[in-house]
Amino acid sequence: MMTLKVNGRDHQIEAEADTPLLYVLRDNLELNAAKFGCGLGQCGACTVIVDGKAVLSCVTPLLLLEGKQVTTLEGLGSIEAPGPIQRAFMEEQAAQCGYCIAGMMMRAQALLQKNPKPSDDEIRAELEPHLCRCGTHMRILRAVHRAAHLMQTADASTLQRSAQ
Amino acid sequence: MTKGRILASVAAALLIGGGVAAFAIAWRPAIAAIEPPSPQSFDAAMVKRGRDLAAIGNCSTCHTVRGGKDFAGGLPVPTPFGTVFSSNITPDAETGIGRWPESAFRRAMRSGVDRDGEHLYPTFPYDHFTNVSDEDDHALYAYLMTRQPVHAPARANQLAFPLDQRFVVAGWKLLFLRHGAYQPDPTRSAEWNRGAYLVEGLAHCGACHTPRNALGAERASAAFAGGDVDNWTAYAINAQSPAPVPWDADALFAYLRDGWQPDHGVARGPMAEVVANLSQTPDSDIRAIATYMAGVFGAPAPDRKRRGEEVLARIKSPPAPAAQADAAGAAIYAAACATCHETKRRLPYGGVNLALSTAFSSPDPRNAANIVLSGVRPVEGERSPIMPGFAASMNDAQVATLLNYLRSRFSNQPAWSGVDKTVADARRAQTVFLQTSAGPQDAPADASQRDKP
């Protein structure tokens, strides 16, 4: 039994220490935004934020998360009140099949938290570990710029949520 | 004349004499500048030959910085004496070598002096390049002078006095630079001699794999006994090699040709750039290098050979369960590493069984720390090995726990000491390396592997 902090709430988790975070998120907590893509840390679909950094949850065992803050896409906003990164991806229609998008958004969110105005090159370099087979790359690029803009102009409540 | 005055005049004479001698040793004339030659004035076949040679010389690795143009320089090279920045070797007239005649290029390769007559720091490995033949220098010159000129002024080196004075390098050369073309050994095969010429000369393998003395020169008595580069350890590649399975000529050929070898794993760190560059090199030259280096490694002693065979046999059977004390390390390994490293998926897309990895049998834990933190970056647009880095998900103590576990589980060597400090240093140094190094630009060429998952 261990305590896992996800999206600002403490959860008591019954799982082996070597269980990947992704399985706990999806199976125990029913947070299904993070996707199982390759299970090898090679595609980025499972990306979540841990203590402000983008982390591949499929190769992150539970025991590494003691005392750390996990944020998933669900923690950035809801359907009724999407966070800036979510609004931006919707407004740019940046998803086609959408399987990779949650991971893309989480790494973009982590990038914008440390670099509020990234250049095209910085976004490309940061999102390089993420695979997208559909090819909405140019829209994703525009969406990250739009999210950066929204974050600078967003109201305080949205900002607070996205900073978790 | 008093005794004092005599002494003073002797001292003055010595000083002046010494000064003149030092000047004679250090002074090199400038070579007159030329108008940059047009690319069309070079023979295309010669340019291609130069391209193949530049790949063996690994020129682009040091002379290209991340995000910069090819050969335009600017890479910070950390040394124990300070940071030296690589120079622009594109044919730009103002900031590159556009106004260098071939004789100036040859002099730089042969004796480390630029066109103006200034001494170059031995981070430019002219102690090896002095062996390069006139013909090969001619081809390299043709290749470099037909690259895209890039205006990129050299960055100032960060060296303390007196090392910031270039004439000091003349003294270093007096001690450590042995001029001369490679002398073939008539008792050896043509292939071995070709390999020796490349390894000792243009390929400058010893620049990383040979330890250096206090003045930064390779220790001739410890050739290929292992050295340092960019906070990576360059393993011993002689009889002292720490590889669990001894290397032979076929394994070396496969590793240098493909960038990986089933009994040893995948090239990474600075060696990934070397094998990427070798992707343009013909099989015959790679075979020659492998033949010569197999001789440097030497045939393994019977017990060393037996231990290698034991490791190969052991990885086929299921591993022993981890001791209780290693539970944390074992859990991290199970979730973060074993999914690739124990699936029996073939290299290079599956991970090597860590019992075969030199990183865990090496006396120095730096490479293991580097690879856990930074992973292996795939080559853009190519099928190539990949490993995620764990710098974001593990803190230093967790990486150290994992490394200590891997060392005890996968090698028969004594525990490493000071792993915590190694991990902290690696985290700092890798950040710098990954920001400045351009990284491999081509996947090693094994065309038969290209279509396989």
Region at A7 (left for phi over 0; alpha for psi -120 to 50; beta for the rest) = left
Question: How far is it, in rounded angstroms, from Cα B435 to Cα B427?
Answer: 13
Q: Which of B377, B393, B427 is the best mutation test for A, with the most CBs of A within 10 A?
A: B393
Of A53, A59, A128, which is closest to B339 when you measure between CB atoms? A59
The 8-class DSSP code of residue A79 comes to: S
Place of tokens 């002797």: B10
For chain A, where do the domains classified as CATH 1.10.150.120 start and end?
76-162
For chain A, where do the domains classified as CATH 3.10.20.30 start and end?
2-75
Q: Which domain holds residue B55?
A: 26-172
Residue B20 lies in a domain: no
pLDDT score at A154? 66
B357 and B222 fall within a common domain = yes
Which parts of chain B have pLDDT scores under 50? 445-453
Q: pTM to 2 decimals? A: 0.89
Residue B16 lies in a domain: no
Across the interface, whether the CB atoms of A56 and B388 are under 8 A apart is answered yes
Q: Yes or no: say if B245 and B239 are a contact pair by the CB < 8 Å rule.
A: no
Q: Yes or no: say if B73 and B154 are a contact pair by the CB < 8 Å rule.
A: yes
B227 and B162 fall within a common domain = no
A36 to chain B: which residues are within 8 Å by CB? none
B168 and B195 fall within a common domain = no
B151 and B80 fall within a common domain = yes
Across the interface, whether the CB atoms of B392 and A55 are under 8 A apart is answered yes
B108 and B236 fall within a common domain = no
Residues of B with CB under 8 A from a CB of A: 67, 327-328, 330-332, 334-336, 339-340, 380, 386-388, 390, 392-394, 398
Place of tokens 């032979």: B248
CA B135 to chain centre: 24
B77 and B197 fall within a common domain = no
A63 to chain B: which residues are within 8 Å by CB? 328, 331-332
Residue where one domain finishes, among candidates B145, B172, B199? B172
Q: What homologous superfamily does CATH list for A2-75?
A: Beta-grasp domain (3.10.20.30)
Closest residue in B to A19 (Cα) is B335
CA B368 to chain centre: 18
B319 and B214 fall within a common domain = yes
Q: What are phi and psi of B272, to 5 degrees?
A: -65, -35
Angle at B331 between CA B328 and CA B333, to 5 degrees: 110
Residue where one domain finishes, among candidates B172, B206, B240? B172
Across the interface, whether the CB atoms of B331 and A20 are under 8 A apart is answered no
Q: Yes or no: say if B135 and B49 are a contact pair by the CB < 8 Å rule.
A: no
**Could you tell me the CATH number of the domain that includes residue B375?**
1.10.760.10
pLDDT score at B450? 44
pLDDT score at A71? 98
Of A41, A50, A64, which is closest to B398 when you measure between CB atoms? A64
Residue B9 lies in a domain: no
Give me the number of domains chain B comprises.
2
B308 and B439 fall within a common domain = yes
Residue where one domain finishes, among candidates B172, B204, B234? B172
Residue among B415, B210, B431, B436 at smallest CA distance from B329? B415
Question: How far is it, in rounded angstroms, from Cα B211 to Cα B257?
Answer: 26
Residue B252 lies in a domain: yes
Give CATH for domain A76-162.
Answer: 1.10.150.120
Secondary structure of B103-162 as H, E, C letters: HHHHHHHHHCECCCCCECCCCCCHHHHCCCCHHHHHHHHHHHHCCCCCCCCCCCCEECCC
B162 and B208 fall within a common domain = no
Helix (H) / strand (E) element for B89: namely none
B435 to chain A: which residues are within 8 Å by CB? none
B126 and B252 fall within a common domain = no
B365 and B218 fall within a common domain = yes
Please give, rounded to a whole number of angstroms, the shortest distance from the CA of B168 to a CA of chain A.
Answer: 41
Q: Yes or no: say if B235 and B358 are a contact pair by the CB < 8 Å rule.
A: yes
Residue B363 lies in a domain: yes
Closest residue in A to B381 (Cα) is A128
pLDDT score at B424? 95
B159 and B281 fall within a common domain = no
Residue B339 lies in a domain: yes
Residues of A with CB under 8 A from a CB of B: 16-20, 39-42, 50, 53-56, 59-64, 121, 128-129
Which parts of chain A have pLDDT scores under 50? 156-157, 160, 162-164
